Amino acid sequence: MSSDPHPSPHYYTVELRFFGDDLDPDAITSELALPPSVMNSLRAPLPGRVRRPLWGYNGHDDPAFQPEWSSLEEGLTFLLRRLSAIRPKIVGLAGRYEGLWWCGHFQTSFDGGPTFSPQLLRLLSAFECSLFLDNYHVNDEEEPLATA
């Protein structure tokens, strides 16, 4: 019997991210009073693209945090609850930078995917950030690519 860490063929990661040419990740950390799960202030050139400064938060400092979710709605609901008290600050940042709900969809098969309830879509839209769903196909033997 194998100890498969992903019994479902689909699992998800969630993160609120901000991008911007003049974005200062340390200033966002200070303004939101949250430790980032990922940030990059360097504009390191990569072949064929420019890397912009980035700040991201996935709730990693909360005891209920999961690096991967079997339900995208559960992961986003967790993050929405965690960020609800600072929604006005997030809306302000979304007006200055590119704000988005980044969702990683990791799948071992090509069938199915997430469903978004009307309630979830209403809650997400109140933050005035776009929703981005990035899809990844992984082999059953591969380790997940989730952010810390």
**pTM of the full structure:** 0.82
CB count in 10 Å sphere of residue 22: 8
**Rounded Cα–Cα distance for residues 60 and 44 (Å):** 26
Q: Would 123 be classed as within a structural domain?
A: yes
Structural domain range at position 56: 10-43+50-137
Q: Would 71 be classed as within a structural domain?
A: yes
Of residues 97 and 145, more confidently modeled: 97
Q: Would 79 be classed as within a structural domain?
A: yes
* Residue-wise DSSP of 8-44: SSEEEEEEEEEE-TT--HHHHHHHHT---SEEE----
- State the pLDDT confidence band at 2, using cuts at 50, 70 and 90: very low
Q: Would 62 be classed as within a structural domain?
A: yes
Of residues 11 and 144, more confidently modeled: 11
Q: Would 146 be classed as within a structural domain?
A: no
Taking the CA atoms of residue 55, residue 94, residue 87 and residue 30 in that order, the dihedral angle to the nearest 10 degrees is 40
Residue 1: pLDDT over 90: no
pLDDT of residue 54: 94
Q: Look up residue 8 and give its two tokens.
A: 């479902």
Q: Would 148 be classed as within a structural domain?
A: no
